[in-house]
């Protein structure tokens, strides 16, 4: 379908009878509709592309910034509920999948209510004992206090009480050993700034992005409890 020349009329006897052409305004309107339709249908693709470059589109736990320091900040988090699993050695690579099954990422949710639960960020990793680790998904705020019980052995609910952390943000590698070095350095800086570190609680590694996010755009954090 082509646009009618400016001199064309659409009455009887027109050199461009109905169907041969369309007024230019109509052509422009159809073009706008087509572009809008493509944009609408492309939303899931564009959303995924955004996460490649670091966009975070899931719920995060709320916190208050108590004070901004040089290279880190002090945050106060409210209480929340998490689902967690402990793992050591080869089992560490399976920890994420076990938690994902609880919320229903891979099919029927592995919890007592078979309740689908939204993914959140960050995924939390803590060192536990010798070489072991504990991984947590912090559940959405509306699940705090009423989360369904996990049905897979070894997966459990955990309460995260209100707490204050010194938090440093960085991008790049997800290496837990590198994060541990960064957390140790942060703890020393916190103490040099005259603050007391809670030695009875482990430092935490926060990872906010999916695996396909480019390392340069990842939001990673180490959190040292105070």
The better pLDDT of the pair 127, 182 is held by 182
CA 157 to chain centre: 20
pLDDT digits (tens, 9 = 90+) for 17-44: 545 555 655 555 555 555 544 444 444 5
Report pLDDT for 118: 97
Count of all residues that appear for the chain in the document: 226
For residues 109 and 102, the answer to whether their CB atoms sit within 8 Å is: yes
- Show the tokens assigned to 152: 């897979």
What pLDDT, on a 0 to 100 scale, did the predictor assign at position 40?
A: 43
- pTM exceeds 0.75, yes or no: yes
DSSP secondary structure string for all residues of 116-127 = ----BS-EEEEE
Query: CB 122: neighbour CB atoms within 10 A?
Result: 22
Cβ–Cβ under 8 Å, residues 182 and 175: no
DSSP of 153-181 = TT-EEEEE--EEEEEEEE-S---HHHHHH
Question: Over the stretch 113-160, which tens digit does the pLDDT of each residue have?
Answer: 999 999 999 999 998 876 789 999 999 999 999 999 999 999 999 999
Residue 195 pLDDT > 60:
yes
**Could you tell me what percent of the chain has a pLDDT over 90?**
71
Q: Contact 164/225 with Cβ under 8 angstroms?
A: yes
């Amino acid at each position: 379908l082509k646009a009618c020349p400016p001199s064309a009329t659409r009455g009887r006897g027109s050199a461009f009878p109905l169907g041969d052409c369309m007024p230019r305004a109509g052509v422009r309107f159809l073009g706008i509709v087509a572009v809008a339709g493509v944009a609408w249908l492309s939303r899931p693709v564009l959303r995924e592309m955004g996460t490649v470059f670091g966009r975070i589109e899931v719920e995060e736990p709320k916190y208050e910034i108590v004070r901004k320091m040089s290279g880190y900040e002090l945050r106060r988090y409210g209480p929340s509920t998490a689902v967690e699993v402990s793992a050591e050695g080869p089992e560490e690579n399976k920890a994420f999948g076990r938690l994902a099954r609880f919320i229903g990422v891979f099919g029927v949710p592995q919890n007592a209510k078979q309740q689908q639960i939204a993914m959140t960020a960050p995924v939390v990793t803590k060192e536990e004992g010798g070489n072991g680790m504990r991984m947590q998904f912090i559940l959405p705020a509306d699940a705090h206090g009423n989360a369904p019980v996990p049905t897979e052995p070894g997966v459990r609910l955990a309460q995260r009480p209100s707490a204050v952390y010194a938090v440093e943000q960085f991008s790049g590698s997800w290496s837990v050993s590198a994060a541990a070095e960064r957390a140790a350095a942060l703890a020393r800086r916190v103490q040099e700034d005259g603050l007391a570190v809670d030695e009875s609680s482990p430092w935490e590694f926060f990872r906010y992005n999916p695996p396909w996010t480019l390392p340069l755009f990842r939001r990673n954090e180490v959190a040292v409890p105070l």
